């Protein structure tokens, strides 16, 4: 099922190897337009996996890939699906990640 796939995939979004992490984010970016609102069952697992660490990454490739994923989510998913997870992340993040999530909410 979709949940099992993304449960396994989310660990790649936190991988300590920056190349694996970046490729996972880039792959996620490509999958979003294909899956669109079908991602709704996994969105509460997916957004923290994308946002945590990646939006505050000092690695420009990882940061760019993470912002691209967030942008793709905003373009291809119903905003209603994104509201609660984005609010939660904006509330508990700090630094650049908090600013980025707050801007997306606005």
| Span 65-88, pLDDT tens digits | 999 999 999 999 999 999 999 999
pTM of the model: 0.93
20 CB-contact burial (10 Å; exposed 0-12 / middle 13-18 / buried 19+): middle
pLDDT tens per residue across span 7-25: 999 999 999 999 999 999 9
3-state DSSP assignment of residue 41: helix
Question: What is the sign, positive or negative, of the torsion defined by CA atoms of 57, 50, 72, 103?
Answer: negative
Domain count, the chain: 1
Host domain of residue 98: 2-104
Phi, psi of 59 (to 5 degrees): -80, 115
């Amino acid at each position: 099922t979709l949940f099992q796939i993304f449960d396994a995939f989310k660990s790649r979004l936190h991988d300590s190897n920056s190349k694996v992490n970046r490729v996972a984010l880039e792959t996620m970016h490509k999958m979003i337009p294909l899956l669109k609102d079908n991602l709704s069952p996994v969105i509460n697992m997916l957004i923290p996996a994308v946002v945590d660490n990646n939006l505050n990454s000092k690695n420009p490739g990882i940061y760019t890939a993470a912002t691209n994923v967030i942008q793709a989510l905003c373009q291809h998913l119903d905003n209603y699906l994104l509201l609660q997870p984005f609010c939660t992340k904006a509330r508990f993040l700090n630094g650049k990640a908090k600013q980025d999530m707050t801007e997306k909410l606005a």
